[in-house]
Amino acid sequence: MKIAVTGAYGQLGGELCRLLGDDAAGLDIDTLDLTDGPAVIAALSDLAPDAVVHCAAYTRVDRAESEPEACEAVNVTAVEHLVEACGRLDCPLVQISTDYVFGGPAYRTAPFCEDDPPSPQGVYARSKLAGERAAGRHSKHLIVRTCGLYARPSDQRAGNFVKTMLRLGRSQQEPRVVCDQQCTPSYVPHVAEAVLSLLGTPAGRPAPWGIYHVTNAGATNWYEFAKEILRLAGMDVTVQPITTAEYAAAAPRPAYSVLDTTKYEALGGPVMPTWESALSSYIEEWKTVGEE
């Protein structure tokens, strides 16, 4: 199979290209402007991929509040262009989405299922839901919601929360981390393998079209996650818990956005380890490669 991967320089897109090898056609801003409809149709028509995995996104959550047009162009309009191109090619479109489509209240304790009504808060979250709905208009669509991605430590293409905590730990800075947002940070290599399994790669048939939740197992908050990062790294650094209100970000965050992955698990694809096990795998590699 030839699979076009947008956002090839990002964390998930880069990992998918690594796993696919010669079967990947990596696309990023230097090779294709996804907001240019004719260019998207021309490029994909030339490539004639067997599937498109759309990882590219506007992810600057706080800046989106002051750049709504730019956010919508990347997270909605670009998806509409891909839908048109995939329709012409009659090939599947995999749309990567986010737990942010759920604005769960702090008192919620039940993970969100795929058919729970979304409740996005903020420009970024609303744009990602609109992107899902655009992708859903293509007959052959897989929408994959995930959460808190962090790539392997040898991947230096993008920053992430784990890298930031390790950098602060090495400099003996005491990070202040939000303690009242419950979610499931997820390791990119695990998510990438799951995405390919849903697509039926390298062999087999794709999963039934629709929405799937794919994260590591379990749940935590960013404060507890930060403490575990530093503990596993052997860094004696205190993490200061703060509330979302104290953090005072421009964009709202879900207080609870844990995703129920039962639907994905029922397909018998690669098992998603717990978030603790996934983080341990990251730290083991980090100690070997010495990357921050």
Would you please indicate which residues are annotated as catalytic (active-site) residues? Answer: 124
Q: Which of 31, 3, 29, 33 is nearest to 17 (CA)?
A: 3
What letters, b where the CB count within 10 A reaches 16 and e where it falls short, cover 40-63?
A: bbebbeebebbbbbbbbbbbebee
Tokens of 16: 């998918």
Using an 8 Å Cβ cutoff, are 212 and 143 in contact?
Answer: yes
Contacts of 133 (CB under 8 A, 6+ apart): none
Contacts of 288 (CB under 8 A, 6+ apart): none
Residue spans of beta strands (DSSP E) within the chain: 3-6, 24-27, 51-54, 93-98, 141-146, 149-150, 176-178, 182-183, 186-187, 210-213, 220-221, 240-242
Taking the C-alpha atoms of residue 4 and residue 8, their distance in angstroms, rounded to an integer, is 9
Q: Which of 107, 3, 96 is nearest to 49 (CA)?
A: 3
Q: Which of 218, 196, 199 is nearest to 278 (CA)?
A: 218
Taking the C-alpha atoms of residue 155 and residue 275, their distance in angstroms, rounded to an integer, is 19
